[in-house]
């Protein structure tokens, strides 16, 4: 059975396009080169691969479910619009998250820094779990999200990229415009601070 992706329309009129099983085997960079060459099916495959990770990335940074969903869609619209600017020497994920960071900054400017958070909503975008386990998991997730939100932004973002988005240090450095060594230092400091903050919020 083929998988599907949203077409590039407004959020109320999203059409479904099948993603070829063959394209699912392509690397991110191959798909991006195909998209740059006009193969929109390659963009659909990238959407299938990264739409939910992007939503979770935005949520970890802004704690807003509504913003995260909007920003995930906007980021892919920008990827399609600026596909001809992609450089083959840069990993696709690093390029994608550079666009994502730019869109989040623009969103802050337009909407103000309303960082209230929506801790009570189900923001894991995953499958359902038994109620008791789901409640316990949600409490732990809420505590972790509060601890992440309390981190300095430079530590929060580098931790999200490396621990939650699965980036290697070199790739995270390319995304953030810093060296691999600087990423390692920031990750170490972020983890130490996160442990302290998590324990603090867990005791409240």
CATH of 130-204, one of 3.40.50.970, 1.10.3720.10, 1.10.10.10, 3.40.50.300: 1.10.10.10
**Domain spanning 1-116, CATH architecture:** Orthogonal Bundle (1.10)
Question: What are the CA-CA distances from residue 3 to residues 18, 41, 45, 77 (Å)?
Answer: 6, 12, 9, 20
pLDDT of residue 119: 30
pLDDT of residue 105: 87
List the chain pLDDT tens, one digit each, 204 residues: 344 344 444 444 343 354 556 888 899 999 999 999 989 899 999 999 999 999 999 988 888 888 899 999 999 999 999 999 998 888 999 999 999 999 988 888 887 644 333 333 333 333 333 434 444 567 777 888 888 889 998 899 999 999 888 899 999 999 999 999 999 999 999 999 999 998 888 887
pLDDT of residue 20: 59
pLDDT of residue 120: 31
pTM of the model: 0.67
Separation CA 138–CA 160 (nearest Å):
18
Domain ranges of the chain: 1-116, 130-204
pLDDT of residue 51: 93
pLDDT of residue 57: 92
Q: Which positions ≥6 away from 49 have C-beta within 8 Å?
A: 28
């Amino acid at each position: 059975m083929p998988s599907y992706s949203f077409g590039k329309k407004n959020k109320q009129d999203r059409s479904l396009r099948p993603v070829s099983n063959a394209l699912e085997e392509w690397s991110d960079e191959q798909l991006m080169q195909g998209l740059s060459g006009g193969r929109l099916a390659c963009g659909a495959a990238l959407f299938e691969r990264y739409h939910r990770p992007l939503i979770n990335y935005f949520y970890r940074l802004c704690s807003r479910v509504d913003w995260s969903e909007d920003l995930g869609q906007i980021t892919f619209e920008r990827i399609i619009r600026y596909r001809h600017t992609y450089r083959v020497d840069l990993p696709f994920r690093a390029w994608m998250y550079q666009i994502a960071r730019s869109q989040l900054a623009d969103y802050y400017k337009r909407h103000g820094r309303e960082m209230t958070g929506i801790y009570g909503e189900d923001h894991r975008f995953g499958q359902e779990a038994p109620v008791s386990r789901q409640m316990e998991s949600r409490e732990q997730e809420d505590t972790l999200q509060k601890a992440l939100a309390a981190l300095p932004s430079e530590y929060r973002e580098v931790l999200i990229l490396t621990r939650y988005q699965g980036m290697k240090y070199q790739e995270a450095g390319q995304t953030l415009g810093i060296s691999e060594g600087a990423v390692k230092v920031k990750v170490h400091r972020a983890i130490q601070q996160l442990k302290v903050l998590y324990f603090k919020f867990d005791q409240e």
